[in-house]
Structures are given as structure tokens and as C-alpha cells.
Amino acid sequence: MIAAVLFDLDDTLYPQASWLHGAWEAVADAAPDTVDRAAFLAALYLIAGQGSDQGRIIDRALARIDACGTETAPLISAFRHHAPARLEPYPEAVDVVAAVRERVPVGLVSDGDVDVQAAKVRALGFEQAFDVVVLSDAMGREHRKPDSGPFLAAAERLGVVAQSCVMVGDRPDKDVRGARQAGLLGAVRVRTGEYAAEPDEDGCLVTLDTLGEAGRWLLARLDAHGPPAPGARASSTWLRPR
């Protein structure tokens, strides 16, 4: 029986491209006058489009426009301090999380700079949407998904065993693989965002095109099994995000 559901953030609950668009604009604005803003911005989009996991996007974009001598500290700061007042979740995201939470505890498990991810949660209006929020970078970057640490920490704080948790996420290499390695019941994969075309990995309970479909799949199974058994929710289950 599913005793808790964990959700990824970027490209699962909202399109990460909407945040990145503003972030790259902020980086371009922070560049000195000696850097061609339009060329730099175009290079940032081009390099980022090759895969956000490759890293050093700002350095590589500067190199592309022959501006390697540019001081990067202010540019990195602009990226990390980008905090939009509002981000729009995917359609049905708010309703899916709320409906699942009516049945079992829910947690958020996300990689990325802690301040950046916390700002995204606020901009999405999700401050009170989850029973726990685990930002893996607070444990150390080496604990980013697919490391088992953040999954196990979320289960522990929710007061349930990891084997009864389901992960909902977009990335096979992080969300699905991490759920499998942590011993979770499985993962529900959504084909949204940057990694939508990536092939599935072992550990997928189901792969669906939208978060709304994933929500309906989960609710059907939660409703079929009825409420958790007495005592399944420990007192630590309803911790609010820190």
C-alpha cells in the first residue's frame, strides 16, 4: 500500500524553462558593458539548451563570445539570487498535490542550490503544500539524486518506511533510479520538460505524459486501497517545510 508520495520540483511541478528564462536575463544584465549583452544572452540559451547538467554554462557562454576574461562572480551571484515573484505551476499541479495529500502525506525532494530552490517554492505558492521539503544540497551536493539520502530523509521525516513511498518525477536518471536505489515502492514518471524524450529505467511503475494523468493514476490506486491502516501516520508525518 502507498503510505506517502514524494514529488520532484523542476520540470515535474512546473516548467523549469520559465525560471531559467528569467535567470539568464538576470545574468546578461549583470555582465559589464564590455560584453555584448545580446550575444551573451544568445550564447547562454544555446549552451544551456545542450543540457543543464553539463555545468559551467556561464563560463562556456563567455568563451563562445570570446569574453573569457570577464569576472564571473557577479554573474553567478545574479543567477543564484534570481527570485521571481511568481512562477506558474503546470496545469493541475496544485490540485494533484492537494488531492494526494488528502489521502497520504506528501513530500518534496529536489536538487539544486538551497536558496534558489526555496525561492522557487515560494514563487510557485507551494510553501504550505507539502508535509516535508527535502533539498538535497542541504545534505551536500554529493547527495543529489539519484543518491538515496534525500529519499530516505523524506520518508523518515514523514514517519513512513521508504518501501511504502512512491516518487513522482520527470528524470529517469535521477527520480526513477534514485527511487529504486533507495528501495522505494517505485516511481511514477512524467514526460515533461528537458528530459521528456529520455528512455525509461527500471523502477517505473508507470510513465505518463502529464502530471494530471499521474495524479489520476495515483488517486485511483490510493482510493482502491482505502485509508492507511491505523497507526500508519506517526506524529512526525505532518511536519511543515523548514
The predicted structure's pLDDT at residue 61: 97
Count of domains for the chain: 2
- Residue 226's pLDDT is what? 63
pLDDT at 100: 97
Last residue in a domain, options 60, 80, 100: 80
Q: In DSSP terms, which residues pair with 204 in a beta bridge?
A: 187
* Calpha distance 183→181 (Å, rounded): 5
CATH code of 180's domain: 3.40.50.1000
Range of the domain at 74: 16-80
Residue 55: predicted pLDDT: 79
Q: Are residues 72 and 98 in the same domain?
A: no
Same domain, 66 and 97: no
As given in the structure block, the three cell numbers for residue 223 are 482510493
73 and 124 both lie in a single domain: no
List of the chain residues with pLDDT < 50: 228-242
Looking at every residue in the chain, the average pLDDT score rounds to 91
Same domain, 135 and 224: yes
Among 80, 106, 122, residue at a domain's last position: 80
Q: Are residues 102 and 26 in the same domain?
A: no
The confidence score (pLDDT) of residue 233 equals 37
pTM for the model stands at 0.89
